[in-house]
Chain A
Amino acid sequence: MKDNDSAQAFAAAVRAAYDADTPLEIIGGGTRRAFGREPAGQPLSVAAHTGIVEYDPAEFVVTVRAGTPVAALDELLGRERQTLTVDVPRLGAASTIGGALAVGLTGPSRPYGGALRDAVLGVRIVSGTGEILRFGGQVLKNVAGFDVARLMVGAYGTLGLLLDVSLRLARRAEVEEVRDLAVDWRAAHAALRRWEGALPVTGACYADGALHVRLAGREERVAAARRVVGGETGEPALFDDLRDLRGSFFARPGDLWRLLVPSDAPWEPRETLIDWAGAQRFWRLSGDPGPVFEYATRWRGQAMRLMGADRSQGPWAPSAPATMALMGRIKAAMDPRAIFNRGRLYPDW
């Protein structure tokens, strides 16, 4: 993969935007533009900022330019029989690693391999004043300075323009397979708990009365796990589709919500999709989001609107006023003139 470093050009563009007080909409592959509120600003494409800054397979760490497509990175890592430690959604062939970090979603591997932010070791960014800054590093343990690198994950690009990111890697599974079991959700949840730490489960979702379990790892372990889990052989692409928000559930009409709840919360209503072994629920809902918030409140969880028809609504409901004010000051510290993705996360950001 050819290395194209546009950092200086981006820094100059941000400085000019800062001086002129004009906002910028950061665009990578453009596959996540429907996420979040409608941002104001001149489009700034970062898609040409691609390539591998550093990759030593023996170290299990890669440093990659933010405009690199997730699929291209995955293919490169695959040649060394390696992979990212988590499922990173790709919403199309053009989906970039920078976009994935900005939205911060983690695929079905989440309860077993951690969050996307857990895999982040360091970043290089352009700040809201046009300076190139580096936080974190390329090593697993690093407590020097505040953890600004992880703060970038899920901030919808409102705190800085991502240039490069260092990610921890893992060995690619030798074999992978999906098992399907027709059970009710309570029994499914109990079984998942039983298998935790005992079997090489790397994903578990539940929909339409069936539990789908992904097993991955060395051949002997997967074979042994198959005998314990039972069920029928499932569709291998199911978890890729889930990771990428594809497939029949996601094709339904309505706003797309995700709810983060205790994993043992009940399966209701029945047209929802359970991911993360119970801890994440996808809902498709048109109109009044009341039931989403009702469910989230009842089960002491959170609701997040991933995509909606009404772009004036943000992904997250506002936090408590004092915490909103604190977050506003953090935004101002990183991007004092609100140049980046203005309005995308919150109206006045």
Chain B
Amino acid sequence: MNDIAESNRCPWPAAFMRRLKRILPADGLLQKSSDVTVYECDGLPVYRARPLAVALPRTAAEVGQVLALCTEYDVPIVARGAGTGLSGGALPHPEGIVLGLARLDRIVAIDPDNRLARVEPGVRNLAISEAARSFGLFYAPDPSSQIACTIGGNVAENAGGVHCLKYGLTTHNILALKFFTADGTLHEIGGPTGEAPLDLCALLTGSEGLLGVVVEVTVRLWSRPLTTVAWLAAFRSLEAAAASVSQVVSEGIVPAGLELMDGLALSAAQDYTGIRYPEGSAAVVLAEVDGDDLAVALDGERLRAIFAAHGAFALQQASRDEDRRRLWLGRKSAFPAVGRLAPDYYCMDGTIPRRSLVSVLTEIAALSRSYGRPVANVFHAGDGNLHPLILYDAAVPGQLEQVEALGAEILRLCLRHGGTISGEHGVGVEKLDGMCAQFSAAELAAFHALKSAFDPHHLLNPGKAVPTPARCVEPGGMHVHGGRLPFSRLERF
């Protein structure tokens, strides 16, 4: 399962280490086992490898020098933000260094007149909105780990979140980037509106650290909505809940967020948070609409009618901040809550067209029964991004293999319905095999050619995100990943 070899032997010449130490601040190079252990995995801890060294620069200039030095000595580099990623993208390379960017955490400038912020990559996602708050502005993409995850990591993963349906993903909210290629050359791309001769910002965003190391990000800020109303609709069947979501979409209503939780997720959230959902709920839909008063009122009216038409038997509405927080609490803590139902769970991330919600959820339920493995569903229904959570116990022989097979079937199901293997968590090391199912050999070759255009010696995060053609012809299904989440109390997804 985890085929990353560990090595205790330092493979680099002494001169490399000497020069690396000179570039970095006094406390900027970690090598002691006790110091580097924390860097051995990201938010997908089933993949672990102890790094030989961790470089922690404080400035962009230091980042450039570290990269140039690594190129000179042919040393692989794995860039890392807060390590909250969910696909093993920040897994250390056995012969490389980890380049931790969390100390580049300055908010360089907030420009309220032009609705933008310039920040270093180690700035936390939520810190941008906090800094922009006094201007009546906010940064929209909100992965649920937003209290901890960094904007650099968000760019690397093209992070999503609950409010992407209306405000877009990270890629829609990036105006300009400064980044180094592996050889230590600085590039500045984008501009005040994000337009450019070639859309390199699009290419860099979601490239999982394979193309460059970002040292400054210019993000778009949005005006805080005047009014926000959240709705919770309770249904007696998962199918009815999913059908109501499909209808909201089909009427062209674009709520800020549109989420769904099934019965298993609800009972877990209820036990974990103590909040009560309406008695007899087999599924709930959470919808949030924002904007001016009239727009919110008109959308709210339609939502109420749609939910009622699909048999919602209870409807709750919240507009004050604290009431909305209560309504969202169960959703936001659903992952740690489900984590208490079984020793392990495997979280999936496929996306499907919204019209297929009912049929895919029905098929997942049937697969769950035939494999005898419970599956909880709590996900971004409005944009079709599923997060089935397969419950299991890695200590019981055979369960891992079952989950492996079930997970592979669910991803094939997503692809069959015209979807994708990853909506927002990235490929990392976790979904390399799924990439073989989604892309042809020629398409994968195009990705490798682009990788080589940026990084000819393949030093940046090698082996992640894009599988080699050789790997794709190997037999075998998707890899399995369970294990407990680190930062288990952090809100997720």
Contacts and interface: CB of A to CB of B under 8 A. Distances in A.
Interface of A: 56-61, 82, 104, 110, 114-115, 117-118, 127, 131-135, 137-148, 150-151, 153-155, 159, 170-171, 196-200, 217-218, 220-221, 224, 260-264, 276, 279-280, 300-302, 304, 315-316, 319-320, 322-323, 326-327, 329-330, 332-334, 345
B275 interface: no
B187 to A, nearest CB: 5
A264 B422 CA distance: 39
Contacts of A155: 198-199
A333 B418 CA distance: 27
Given A197-B223, A261-B192, A280-B193, A114 B199 contact: no
A334 B451 CA distance: 11
Contact of B292 (A60, A118, A199, A323): A199
Contacts of A276: 193
A117 B202 CA distance: 9
B94 interface: no
A144 B438 contact: yes
B197 A144 contact: no
Contact of B298 (A57, A117, A221, A330): A221
A220 B193 contact: no
Contacts of B169: 141
Contacts of A315: 197
Interface centre among B353, B431, B466 (most CB of A within 10 A): B353
Given A141-B385, A144-B420, A329-B453, A322 B206 contact: no
17 contacts: A58-B250, A59-B353, A115-B195, A127-B446, A133-B442, A139-B353, A139-B419, A140-B165, A143-B426, A147-B205, A154-B199, A155-B199, A198-B292, A263-B114, A302-B195, A322-B186, A334-B449
B388 to A, nearest CB: 15
A195 to B, nearest CB: 10
A54 B333 CA distance: 38
**Smallest CB-CB A-B distances: 8 pairs:** A171-B252, A58-B250, A150-B202, A329-B453, A333-B449, A141-B423, A197-B223, A316-B197
Residues of B in contact with A, size category? 35 or more
A150 B351 contact: no
A322 B423 contact: no
Nearest to A328: B453
Given A141-B351, A197-B226, A147 B188 contact: no
Contacts of B198: 151, 154-155, 159, 327, 330
Contacts of B332: none
Contacts of B453: 326, 329-330, 332-333
B435 interface: yes
Interface string B131-156: 00000000000000000000000000
Given A133-B442, A143-B157, A118 B423 contact: no
Interface in B409-432: 418-427, 431
B322 interface: no
Interface of B: 111, 113-114, 157-158, 160, 164-165, 168-169, 171-172, 181, 185-189, 191-200, 202-203, 205-207, 211, 222-226, 246, 249-254, 291-292, 294-295, 298, 351-355, 380, 383-385, 418-427, 431, 434-435, 438-440, 442-443, 446-447, 449-450, 452-454, 465-466
Contacts of B206: 143, 146-147
Contacts of A151: 198-200, 202-203
B187 A138 contact: no
Contacts of A139: 351-353, 383-384, 418-420, 423
Given A117-B202, A142-B422, A146-B207, A334 B446 contact: yes
A323 to B, nearest CB: 5
A147 B250 contact: no
Contacts of B353: 56, 59, 61, 138-139
B197 A262 contact: no
B401 to A, nearest CB: 25
Contact of B447 (A141, A145, A198, A330): A145
Contact of B192 (A141, A279, A330): A279
Contacts of A323: 187-189
B156 to A, nearest CB: 10
Contacts of A220: 294, 298
B191 A142 contact: no
A119 B145 CA distance: 26
A118 B199 contact: no
A196 B254 CA distance: 18
B199 A144 contact: no
Nearest to A135: B443
B360 to A, nearest CB: 12
Nearest to A54: B418
A208 B113 CA distance: 24
A150 B298 CA distance: 34
Contacts of B193: 110, 115, 260, 276, 279-280
B476 to A, nearest CB: 19
Contacts of A200: 295
B295 A142 contact: no
Nearest to B435: A144
Contacts of B226: 197-198
Contact of B246 (A58, A142, A143, A261): A58
Contacts of B157: 143
Contact of B223 (A118, A147, A196, A260): A196
A300 B165 contact: no
Contacts of B291: 197
A141 B160 contact: yes
Contact of A141 (B249, B383, B442): B383
Contacts of A263: 113-114
Contacts of B252: 60, 82, 170-171
